[in-house]
Amino acid sequence: MTRMQEMSLDYHFIVEQEVGSSTHAFFGFNGTAGVWRISAINEAGGWKDRTTVEDMDLAVRASLKGWKFVYVGDLKVKNELPSTFNAYRNQQHRWSCGPANLFKKMAMEIIRNKKVSLWKKFYVIYSFFFVRKIVAHIVTFVFYCVVLPATVLVPEVEVPKWGAVYIPSIVTLLNAVGTPRSLHLVLFWIIFENVMSLHRTKATFIGLLEAGRVNEWVVTEKLGDGLKTKLGGKAPRKPRFRIGDRVHTLELGVGAYLFFCGCYDLAFGKNRYFIFLFLQSIAFFMAGVGYVGTIVSTS
């Protein structure tokens, strides 16, 4: 799971942050490893807790005040990633729900702003928010986990190879270019990202609709040296199995749907989608029972 996260974050920093900094002097502040001018924070209105992405909120407001952002990519800062699947799910919920909710609250403010150029407004609204924070999650899940599998059940509907294979493959390779040492894991990364797209899509709609968990803040659990201290150098005990902590019904449901579509395609289909469908269903089943990442004893 660590390598999967590395591939996503490398693309985010090496591509998204670098491009935003060099072309628009703006990028979403990540909340760590950054240096702010106090005057910029004060002029932007300070930190606000109206969403779960207060760092991004501040960055957008500062940008609308005319402040420029510079990303220094040659400075290396250590970062610890969540190593349990539940911790990663909580983090991704916050990272998907928060931006969608912030977009809803700031869209008109960005449009009415007179201090930044029309081109920068377009970049922030369309590219930064709409495409990357909303559409990307929804399209990934709906197309690969709902529409494409459904086409095997309806033979009259055929997705062109360029739409189902070629373009997605090119996009995937471009996303993975930031982590060349993990190119051999790109297939696993695709499958893992498709699984997470379900959780991100759900969180995105929660943010847009301001539903129940919109302001839920769960601190991302990171083990670090704390696990070594806790274990005291002894072998870890076998963790207790708690259904509420390990079983995720949505993932299991989607996995069952994909498995059924795969079986149908194997028996009656001609496109050989069943190879992808079986692999993807296995990934959903594994996520559904929490068999991803480090399992830490709660005793």
pLDDT tens-digit readout, 10-22: 888 888 888 888 8
Q: Is 298 among the domain residues?
A: no
For residues 84-110, give the mean pLDDT: 93
Is residue 116 in a domain? yes
Distance CA 174, CA 270 (A): 29
HSE-CB at 218 with a 13 A cutoff on CA atoms is: 17
Cα angle at 195 between 191 and 201, to 5 degrees? 135
pLDDT classification of 197: cutoffs 50, 70, 90: very high
Q: At what angle do helices 186-209 and 274-288 cross, to 10 degrees?
A: 60
pLDDT value, residue 231:
52
| pLDDT over 80 (residue 41) | yes
**Tokens linked to 268:** 């009656």
Choose between 233 and 74: higher pLDDT.
Answer: 74
| 105 domain-assigned | yes
Summarize the confidence of residues 231-244 as an average pLDDT: 52
Q: Compute the average pLDDT of residues 133-141.
A: 95
pTM reported for the whole predicted model: 0.87
Task: Identify the domain containing residue 236 by its residue range.
Answer: 2-215+222-288
Q: Is the pLDDT of residue 51 over 80?
A: yes
Instruction: Establish if 93 belongs to a structural domain.
Output: yes
Among 23-37, 73-87, 179-193, 230-244, the minimum mean pLDDT is found in 230-244
Half-sphere exposure of 2 (CA within 13 A, CB side): 7
Mean pLDDT of the region 80-104 = 91
Q: Which amino acid is at 202?
A: K
How many CB atoms are located within 10 Å of the residue 118 CB?
8
What pLDDT score was predicted for residue 228? 53
293 occurs within a structural domain: no
**pLDDT, tens digit (0-9, with 9 covering 90-100), for 277-291:** 999 999 999 999 988
Q: Is 52 exposed, middle or buried (0-12, 13-18, 19+ CB in 10 A)?
A: buried
pLDDT at 225: 52
The pLDDT value given to residue 296 = 56
Residue 81 lies in a domain: yes
Please report the pLDDT score of residue 144 as a whole number: 93
The pLDDT of residue 168: 83
The chain-wide mean pLDDT, for the chain, equals 87
| Number of compact structural domains in the chain | 1
Higher pLDDT, 197 or 234: 197
Percentage of residues of the chain with pLDDT beyond 70:
90
Is a pLDDT exceeding 80 seen at residue 237? no
In a domain, residue 299? The reply is: no
Encode pLDDT of 161-180 as tens digits: 888 888 888 888 887 877 88
Least confident of 24-33, 123-132, 136-145, 149-158: 24-33
Q: Say if residue 200's pLDDT is above 60.
A: yes
- 27, part of any domain: yes
3-state secondary structure 192-230: HHHHHHHHHHHHHHHHHHCCCCCCCCCCCCCCCCHHHHH
Question: Which among 63, 64, 71 is positioned nearest to 22, based on CA atoms?
Answer: 71
Q: Which amino acid is at 250?
A: L
Per-residue model confidence as pLDDT tens digits over 104-130: 999 999 999 998 899 999 999 999 999
Using CB atoms within 10 A of its CB, is residue 147 exposed (0-12), middle (13-18) or buried (19+)? middle
